[in-house]
Chains A and B, each alone.
Chain A
Amino acid sequence: MIRIPLRPLARVLKARETGENPDLIEQENRRLRIEAMRDGARRRAEGRLLMVVLIFLCGFVVLSARMGLLAATAPMELRAAMPGQISSARAQIVDRNGHVLATNLPTQVLYAETQRMIDPERAARELARIFPDIDADQMAARFTDPDRRFIWIRPRLSPEQQQAVHDIGEPGLMLGPREMRVYPNGRMAAHVLGGARVGQQGVNAAEVLGAAGAELYFDAELRDPARIDQPLQLSLDLTLQSVVTEVLEGAKRLFKARGATAVLMDVNTGEVLSLVSLPDFDPNNRPAPATEGDPADSPLFNRAVQGYYELGSVMKSFAIAQALEEGAVTPDSRIDTRGPLTWGRFSIRDFRNYGPELSVKDVLVRSSNIGTARIMRELGADKQQDFLRELGFLDPAALELPEAARSRPLTPDNWSELSTMTISYGHGMSTSPLALAAGYAALVNGGRKVTPTLLRQNRPRLGAQVISERTSRQMRLMLHQVVQEGTASFARIPGYPVGGKTGSADKPSARGGYMEDAVFASFASVFPSHDPRYVLIVTLDEAVDTTGPEPRRTAGWTAVPVSAEITRRIAPLLDIRPTDLATAEAALYAR
């Protein structure tokens, strides 16, 4: 740096010439120099101060960020030790009212480390005493086998058994913590819940995985560690499910049916309140899939969702509704019902002769195959397919069960005019009871498509308009008349007007054609008929009523009384106010 001299000669000489005091120049320069030094020192000090401030600021930012982070973290409750990679935690499943359907219980697994064993023979003897099904000699042989160092003995122990194993005092016998899936209601809603199985397992934990049903469908949600404390709430109602199961089991026994199903659905939300398929199983002890015989006869088979059947006359409602919607007929139009109706070498007959003609209403009330087939023939196959597709009959059900996606309806490869006619009265196309429930819900709720769901909903979930409000109103009245005047007279329940349609389909035989005395009886009902809130489907497979002089197999004698008993029992539980018939009919006819 160039230093400016304190007494620059040029200025001093000049000052001397003008007679000024040159000391003043020196003083002035000294002052400037000192000021420059002071400014420099201040800049350095300020820089240091700034640095210190920055360091502190960083520290404070880090600390406050950490504090903010801690404050913002959701409090987490720790459950019983979850060591290692394997997590056995699984959220509860509850019904719509919070009743427990599935939960986890801690238990202990028993295993042996043979190298640590002191007296294997005695341990084997003592174990055989605690667990009668253990063979002492076999167990001793396994304990003393030099190739084995590790043996699983029991997957779960009761507290008493744990104590007994402790009391043996053998250091080689070890207990490890486990969680087991428990279904406290036993067989109730077995097909919906499915069951659980043990996945990957270590000494300290084992995965509990869903094996079928909702447990499998919602497996990821149930095992999500962030949502362990939030139970999965289903739309099922335990009380209703129990009543429906009880009545249906009685009916299955009484009518010696091979199987039975019931589906109860809310017509506005699509919530399945009860879904029963018999025979059923205990999800606590899920049986292995059958390796022989018809899988559709296995108790694991969910008949209400996986079972696709030709349901017969219950499907007529859809043909009539479509004809009304298209404006092809009115409820009072006269339809030619002279039979048999022939098409090529096939002929369509009625259960009995209904005379030369019936009104459209009576075609449904009396269940005339010929009348329905004639109505649908006028509309044609394309329109029929479109309508059935809109209602969801041609696709697998969209229910939250893995089984639902596994089966799909059987439809004719070539949708001919004959197919159109037979499908109109429920033959030639298979439908699951669940899809039928969704279809009937759409018919009576004002014509909006309904998607069935197993999750609790808080508001109506109505889809696209399938039929008009007016057609829906006409259908409500006609379904009511089927019960009051037609084939479902057993469904008349004091206090709860019901509308519905029966279906008695001859079962297709394995060799082709239809079986003589095997009937698939079904009844689709809606209640209360003047303001439908729920749809109930009941099906009985090969049910026969033997109380009369000759066996009766039609739905009017089997499925209808069962459905009526269910409705009589559950309607009060669903908070439906009893209405007398006159009030209901006034409401139905007024509109």
Chain B
Amino acid sequence: MRSFLYFVTVLAVIALAAWAYRENHLTQQAMNDRRALEREIASLTTAKTIQRTEWAYLNRPDRLRELVDVNFERLRLIPISADHFGRVDEIAYPLPVIDDDGTLNAVEISGTLDDGNGDAPRPEAQP
């Protein structure tokens, strides 16, 4: 019995030693991978910074203003001002359609913006 225990213990020590050896190498490998990954992250961070900077440079207000001027014919962009704002009561609101049995039909409500002949029903102006 005792010699069996010794045998098992020795086997266990050998197995553990092999495991520790393997673990050591895996750790070193992982550390190498980590360093490589860090280098990659560093270079990607730098690349990201460069691209962000380039983006900021290309979108600098002076350049955008010049582009707006150059493309005025096509885009007709002008600075936003107070008269570009609308009021809610200026928006045409579709009239609900009520079925014969008196229930509101949501699908048909959305369908009344244009009733097919291009003559959308005019809503009553909201106060």
Which residues from chain A sit less than 8 Å from chain B, CB to CB?
77-81, 99-100, 103-106, 182, 184-186, 188, 238-239, 241-243, 246, 493-496, 568-569, 571-573, 577-578
Given known pairs A103-B49, A104-B49, A238-B61, the reply for A572 and B56 (CB within 8 Å) is: no
Besides A188-B60, A246-B65, 9 new A-B residue pairs in contact (Cβ under 8 A), listed by A number: A77-B41, A78-B38, A100-B52, A184-B60, A188-B61, A495-B85, A569-B81, A572-B82, A577-B85
A239 surroundings in chain B (CB, below 8 A) = 61
Given known pairs A105-B53, A182-B53, A185-B56, the reply for A496 and B82 (CB within 8 Å) is: yes
Given known pairs A100-B52, A186-B60, A238-B61, the reply for A78 and B81 (CB within 8 Å) is: no
Given known pairs A188-B61, A238-B61, the reply for A573 and B80 (CB within 8 Å) is: yes
A77 surroundings in chain B (CB, below 8 A) = 38, 41-42, 45
Given known pairs A104-B49, A494-B82, A568-B81, the reply for A184 and B41 (CB within 8 Å) is: no
Are the C-beta atoms of A103 and B52 separated by less than 8 Å? yes
A sample of 6 inter-chain contacts (CB < 8 A) reads A77-B45, A188-B62, A246-B61, A496-B82, A569-B81, A571-B82
Given known pairs A100-B52, A185-B60, the reply for A578 and B82 (CB within 8 Å) is: yes
Are the C-beta atoms of A79 and B45 separated by less than 8 Å? yes
Closest to B65 in A: A246
CB-based closest 6 A-B pairs = A495-B82, A242-B61, A184-B56, A100-B56, A578-B82, A184-B57
B32 at the interface (CB under 8 A from A): no
A246 surroundings in chain B (CB, below 8 A) = 61, 65
Partner of A185, one of B38, B39, B61, B84: B61
Given known pairs A493-B82, A572-B81, A573-B80, the reply for A79 and B56 (CB within 8 Å) is: no
A-B CB pair tally, cutoff 8 Å: 79
Q: What CA separation (Å) do A188 and B61 show in the bound complex?
A: 9
Instruction: Give the dominant DSSP class at B's interface.
Output: helix
Closest to A495 in B: B82
Are the C-beta atoms of A572 and B53 separated by less than 8 Å? no
**How many Å from the CB of B73 to the closest CB on chain A?**
21
A569 surroundings in chain B (CB, below 8 A) = 79, 81
Q: What CA separation (Å) do A494 and B82 show in the bound complex?
A: 7
**How many Å from the CB of A89 to the closest CB on chain B?**
11
Closest to B84 in A: A572
A104 surroundings in chain B (CB, below 8 A) = 49
Are the C-beta atoms of A100 and B43 separated by less than 8 Å? no
Closest to A494 in B: B82
**How many Å from the CB of A352 to the closest CB on chain B?**
34
Given known pairs A78-B38, A494-B83, A568-B81, the reply for A103 and B45 (CB within 8 Å) is: no
B38 surroundings in chain A (CB, below 8 A) = 77-78
Q: What CA separation (Å) do A494 and B46 show in the bound complex?
A: 48
Q: What CA separation (Å) do A100 and B52 show in the bound complex?
A: 8
Given known pairs A184-B60, A186-B62, the reply for A78 and B83 (CB within 8 Å) is: no
**How many Å from the CB of A55 to the closest CB on chain B?**
17
A79 surroundings in chain B (CB, below 8 A) = 42, 45-46
B45 surroundings in chain A (CB, below 8 A) = 77, 79-80
Complex interface bits, B55-80 against A, C-beta within 8 A gives 1, otherwise 0: 11101111001000000000000011
